[in-house]
Amino acid sequence: MAGKKDHAVVAVISDLTARQAAQITKDIFVSKQKNAPNARGTAASGLMSSVGALLCRGNKRIGG
* Domain definitions of the chain by residue range: 18-62
Top pLDDT among 53 and 28 is at 28
Alpha carbon distances (Å) from 21 to 12, 33, 45: 11, 19, 6
Indicate the pLDDT class of residue 19, thresholds 50, 70 and 90. very high
pLDDT of 34 reads 95
Q: What is the pTM of this model?
A: 0.72
In this predicted model, what pLDDT tens digit does every residue of 36-60 receive, in sequence order? 999 988 777 888 888 777 777 655 5
Share the mean pLDDT of the chain.
82
